[in-house]
């Protein structure tokens, strides 16, 4: 069977290389499955280009990556699924079997299949499940419509070597940077997050180093972590940093971290491996003295080891006092952090703790903001417990603070991180 991977992600703030397709390409290559890639990110006429490619390449399967459903920002939200529905329709009209996957798809697979009319989907990492799906389509016995990629993942995440299939230069020219993954999944418990409570699958640290070295040889030196959070297990993190330092040569990279676990050794190795910026994901649920002391220690170490820090601060949880947010802001104001984005409008998805709370407490319904008449959560739905104008007043005179969602940019751009083609 012949597969056409399609990247429909045309959001440019910043543009993101479809790393998922690069890992999947490697897995198809290892099984001698024929494939090609159509990246619509910078296409001037995406529908025409898609149709032309389908007619020229004549794939049996159109494999569309759904990186995100929408921008997840309440203000000026951009909803991406209507375009994906259109591309799915075009592929079907050319006789292809359509398969969806990706981090956005995996949030609400059944609903997105229903909305787009796609034939099949893979939820979670697709390296093994997509091969299983292709094989069963070949044998004409595919009974499952949605495959669970985690169930198929028994081996290491690095049985395959990543295959470069994107035009990196176009991405870098437009402020993109190359992503890489060191682990899949997250054991976090954040009630609003779709990434929490997922099995963790580690990449082999040595392979991570080799992957970065391979991309560095192509002339790219600045990377961005594509894990949910880096510090899930300190031992793995330090091994990854050591491998990056010893295998890859001089590189720079940006990462996500949660407040714990950490230790000084980790920061030492982050610095040694070229990490120069971190986004710290925090919330305002705990503002106790010991907790703030721990955050202060983390920020001290980040500063000592020359990592610039951006904080993503989540607040406005059901029944939360606004005083919590104020206390945390007072604290962060005095800390060595460069920028703090405050988020208090949450995208609501079935299956999250927030969704369940809203169902259990009907009085919370009045904080739910729908952007369409539909009952479906495929369309952007938000929960906003805090009052925007009061929050705006609270943030107004604090220079490094900003309410998330008014600006089209991500933290690494805010902190001036950029690769250049050497």
List interacting residues with ligand B12 (CB under 6 A): 9, 11, 13-17, 19-20, 23-24, 63-65, 67-73, 99-104, 106-107, 122, 125-127, 130, 177, 179, 181, 193-195, 224, 226, 228, 347, 410
Q: In terms of CB distance, is 122 or 280 closer to ligand B12?
A: 122
Burial class (CB in 10 A: 0-12, 13-18, 19+), 124: buried
> Which of 228, 335 has the CB closer to ligand B12?
228
Q: Which is nearer to ligand B12, 222 or 287 (CB)?
A: 222
Specify the residue, 46 or 125, whose C-beta has the smaller distance to ligand B12: 125
Identify the DSSP state of 245. I
Residue found under tokens 């290389």: 17
Min dist CB 397 to ligand B12, Å, is 26
Q: Which residue is nearest to ligand B12 (CB)?
A: 101
Start-to-end C-alpha separation, the chain: 38
Give 259 or 296: the residue with its C-beta nearer to ligand B12: 259
How many angstroms separate the CA atoms of 301 and 115, rounded? 47
**Crossing angle, helix 322-333 and helix 289-304, to 10 degrees?**
30
CA 370 vs. chain centroid, Å, equals: 23
Sequence-ordered list of residues with C-beta below 8 angstroms from that of 396, at least 6 positions apart, any chain? none
Q: Over the range 66-81, which residues count as b (16 or more CB within 10 Å of their CB) and which as e? A: bbbbbbbbbeebeebb
By C-beta, is 14 or 209 nearer to ligand B12?
A: 14
Q: How many CB atoms lie within 10 A of CB 352?
A: 21
CB 152 within 8 A of CB 171: no
For residues 267 and 345, which CB has a smaller minimum distance to ligand B12 in the complex?
345
User: What minimum distance in Å lies between the beta carbon of 145 and ligand B12?
Assistant: 13
Say if CB 100 and CB 121 are below 8 A apart. Answer: yes
Minimum gap (Å) between residue 223 Cβ and ligand B12: 8
Closest CA to 259 of 274, 281, 240, 277: 281
The CA-atom distances, in angstroms, between 22 and each of 36, 188, 223, 361 are 11, 26, 15, 43
Please state the closest distance from residue 272 (CB atom) to ligand B12, in A. Answer: 22
Cα–Cα dist 256/2, whole Å: 37
Least separation, in Å, of the C-beta of 158 and ligand B12? 11
Report how far residue 115's alpha carbon sits from residue 317's, in angstroms, rounded to the nearest whole number. Answer: 30
Minimum distance of ligand B12 from residue 377's CB (angstroms): 10
Q: Which of 130/269 has CB closer to ligand B12? A: 130
CB of 336 to ligand B12, least distance (A): 22
Query: Which 8-state DSSP code applies to residue 273?
Result: T
**Please, what is the minimum distance in Å from the beta carbon of residue 138 to ligand B12?**
15
């Amino acid at each position: 069977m012949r597969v056409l991977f399609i990247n429909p992600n045309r959001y440019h703030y910043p543009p993101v290389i479809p790393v998922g397709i690069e890992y999947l390409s490697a897995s198809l290559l290892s099984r001698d499955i024929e494939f090609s890639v159509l990246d619509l990110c910078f296409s001037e006429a995406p529908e025409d280009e898609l149709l032309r490619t389908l007619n020229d390449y004549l794939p049996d399967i159109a494999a569309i990556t759904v990186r995100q459903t929408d921008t997840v920002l309440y203000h000026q939200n951009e909803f991406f699924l209507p375009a994906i529905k259109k591309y799915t329709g075009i592929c079907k009209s050319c006789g292809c079997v359509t398969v969806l996957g990706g981090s956005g798809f995996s949030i609400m697979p059944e609903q997105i299949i229903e909305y787009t009319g796609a034939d099949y989907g893979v939820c979670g990492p697709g390296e093994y499940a997509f091969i299983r799906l292709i094989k069963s389509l070949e044998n004409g016995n595919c009974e499952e419509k949605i495959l669970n990629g985690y169930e198929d993942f028994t081996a290491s995440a690095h049985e395959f070597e990543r295959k470069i299939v994107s035009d990196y230069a176009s991405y870098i020219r437009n402020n993109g940077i190359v992503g890489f993954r060191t682990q899949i999944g997250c054991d976090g418990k954040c009630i609003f997050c779709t990434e929490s409570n997922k099995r963790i699958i580690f990449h082999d640290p040595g392979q991570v180093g080799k992957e970065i070295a391979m991309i560095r040889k192509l002339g790219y030196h600045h990377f961005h972590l594509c894990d949910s959070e880096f510090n899930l297990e300190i031992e793995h993190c330090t091994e990854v940093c050591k491998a990056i330092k010893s295998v890859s040569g001089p590189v720079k990279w940006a990462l996500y971290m949660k407040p714990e676990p950490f230790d000084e050794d980790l920061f030492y190795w982050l610095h040694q491996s070229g990490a120069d910026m971190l986004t710290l994901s925090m919330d305002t649920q705990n503002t106790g003295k010991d907790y703030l002391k721990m955050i202060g220690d983390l920020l001290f170490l980040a500063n000592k080891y020359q990592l610039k820090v951006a904080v993503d601060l989540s607040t406005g949880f059901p029944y939360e006092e606004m005083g919590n947010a104020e206390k945390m802001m007072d604290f962060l104001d005095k800390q060595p952090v460069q920028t703090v984005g405050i988020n208090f409008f949450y995208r609501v998805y079935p299956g999250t703790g927030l969704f369940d709370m809203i169902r259990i407490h009907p009085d919370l319904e009045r904080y739910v903001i729908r952007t369409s008449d539909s009952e479906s959560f495929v369309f952007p739905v938000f929960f906003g417990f805090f009052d925007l104008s009061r929050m705006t007043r609270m943030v107004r005179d604090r220079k490094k603070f900003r309410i998330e969602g008014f600006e089209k940019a991500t933290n690494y751009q805010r902190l001036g991180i950029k690769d250049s083609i050497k």
